[in-house]
Chain A
Amino acid sequence: GDSVTQTEGPVTVSESESLIINCTYSATSIAYPNLFWYVRYPGEGLQLLLKVITAGQKGSSRGFEATYNKETTSFHLQKASVQESDSAVYYCALGPDSNNRIFFGDGTQLVVKP
């Protein structure tokens, strides 16, 4: 089926350290899936961080980057230097299928220590 697997949290890093949150996907019913990273900051709603709709392309936002790798079916989220304000829950997602469904990973809580 269609699914997403991502790094299990919580992930704890110190401010200014680099970060990678792994995401791999399986898209059996979607020929050309879009890939997304969503983020939920404490006390706020779920919001789109970045998306990539074409394999081989990279998306970036707020210092975060993710590359759509069709060969390894991966969409890892990276940041060179995290800040305390990056503390949040990050969700990798793919879709939509023929039912307009987006498939989410379980989310990865990121804790950035000052």
Chain B
Amino acid sequence: AQTIHQWPVAEIKAVGSPLSLGCTIKGKSSPNLYWYWQATGGTLQQLFYSITVGQVESVVQLNLSASRPKDDQFILSTEKLLLSHSGFYLCAWSSGGINAEQFFGPGTRLTVL
């Protein structure tokens, strides 16, 4: 069975500080990977997706970046956090294909002060 793990579970950071959020998928080779973000009271929106190692496509510009250093790992980061980065970050995977459903991780709650 496939499992998806996100870290950290929650983070409180200062404006201007760096951030790194991680996501690991076990039990699935070559998954499509996604990062989503939901501001408090806002809509869940897709930020990035990756079909293969080393390749990441940006969907929404939020002064964030993503990388896929390994087949099973997806990293979301920024060098300088903004207040507007606060929210809930979800990682998801799918097996690819036009009708493939996406499976979500437990999420990371980020508070920027």
Contact B105–A100 (Cβ < 8 Å): no
Please state if B104 and A105 are interface contacts (CB–CB under 8 Å): no
Q: Contact check, B102 vs A102: say whether CB atoms are below 8 A apart.
A: yes
In the complex, residue of chain A having the shortest beta-carbon distance to the beta carbon of B42: A106
Partner of B46, one of A44, A102, A107: A102
Which residues, 34 to 56 on B, are CB-close (under 8 Å) to A?
Answer: 34, 42-46, 49, 51
- Please determine whether A34 and B44 come into contact, CB atoms closer than 8 angstroms: no
Q: Are the CB atoms of A48 and B44 closer together than 8 Å?
A: no
Considering the complex, which residues of chain B in the window 77-113 have a beta carbon less than 8 Å from any beta carbon of chain A?
90, 94, 98-99, 101-107
Contact of B57 (CB < 8 Å), options: A99, A104, A106: A99
> When the two chains form the complex, which single residue of B46, B51, B101, B104 contacts A45, counting CB atoms closer than 8 Å?
B104
- For chain A, the count of residues having a C-beta within 8 Å of the partner chain is 20
B59 contacts partner chain A, Cβ-Cβ < 8 Å: yes
Q: Which residues of A contact B99 (CB under 8 A)?
A: 34, 53
* Interchain CB contact under 8 A, B44 and A45: no
B59 interface neighbour in A51, A99, A104, Cβ under 8 Å? A99
Interface set of B (CB-CB < 8 Å, partner A): 32, 34, 42-46, 49, 51, 57, 59, 90, 94, 98-99, 101-107
Residues in A lying within 8 Å of B, measured CB to CB: 34, 36, 38, 44-48, 51, 53, 91, 96, 99-102, 104-107
Other CB < 8 Å A-B pairs besides A45-B105, A47-B103, 9 of them?
A: A36-B101, A45-B106, A99-B46, A99-B59, A100-B34, A102-B46, A104-B43, A104-B45, A106-B43
